[in-house]
A and B are shown apart, each in its own frame.
Chain A
Amino acid sequence: MGVMNMLQLILAFIGSVCAGILFNVRMEKLFWAGLSGALGWITYSLLHTATGAVVIPIFLGAAVVGLYSESAARLLKTPVTIFSISGIFPLVPGITAYTAMQFLVENRLEEAAGKIVETLACAFAIAFGLMLITGIFRFAGRLKEQKIR
Chain B
Amino acid sequence: MRTLCCLQGFVSIKKANGECESFSEIMRIRNRNVNLHRIELVNTFSRSLKDEPLPYEIAIKILNEIENTPQFKLHIRILAAGIWAFVFTLLFRGMFSEGLAAAFMCMLAYLIKSKISEIGFYEFLEFFVSGMLTALISLLAVKLFPQMNVYKIIIGSIVTFAPGVAIANSVNDALRGDIVSSLAGIGEAVLVVAALGAGVGIALIIGLQWV
Residues of A near any B CB (own CB < 8 A): 8, 11-12, 14-15, 17-26, 41, 78-79, 81-82, 85-86, 88-90, 92-102, 104-106, 119-120, 122-124, 126-128, 130-131
Contact = CB atoms under 8 A, between A and B. Distances in A.
Contacts of A104: 197
A14 B37 contact: no
Interface string B32-59: 0011111110010000000000000000
Given A92-B164, A97-B163, A98-B162, 12 more contacts: A15-B88, A23-B34, A85-B36, A85-B165, A97-B164, A98-B158, A102-B197, A104-B197, A105-B201, A122-B168, A127-B172, A127-B174
Contacts of A24: 34-38, 71-72
Interface of B: 1, 4, 34-40, 43, 71-72, 76-77, 80-81, 83-84, 87-88, 90-91, 155, 158-160, 162-165, 167-172, 174-176, 189, 193-194, 196-198, 200-202, 205
Nearest to A13: B87
Contact of A119 (B77, B159, B167): B167
Contacts of B160: 22
20 contacts: A8-B91, A11-B90, A17-B80, A18-B83, A21-B72, A21-B77, A22-B81, A24-B34, A41-B91, A94-B167, A96-B164, A97-B162, A97-B164, A97-B189, A123-B167, A123-B170, A124-B171, A126-B171, A127-B172, A131-B172
A92 B167 contact: yes
Contacts of A21: 72, 76-77, 80
Given A8-B91, A18-B81, A105-B198, A130 B165 contact: no
A126 B165 CA distance: 10
Contacts of B71: 24
Given A26-B37, A119-B167, A105 B197 contact: yes
A131 B176 contact: yes
B188 to A, nearest CB: 12
A96 B29 CA distance: 28
Contact of B175 (A19, A82, A131): A131
B83 to A, nearest CB: 5
A17 to B, nearest CB: 8
B196 A101 contact: yes
Contacts of A22: 77, 80-81, 84, 160
A15 B172 CA distance: 23
A23 B81 contact: no
Nearest to A119: B167
Nearest to B88: A15
A22 to B, nearest CB: 5
A72 B43 CA distance: 16
A119 B168 CA distance: 9
Given A8-B91, A130-B172, A79 B43 contact: yes
A92 B36 contact: no
3 smallest A-B Cβ distances: which pairs?
A94-B164, A101-B197, A94-B162
Contacts of A14: 83, 87
Contacts of A119: 167
Given A97-B164, A102-B197, A81 B80 contact: no
A25 B90 CA distance: 24
Nearest to A88: B168
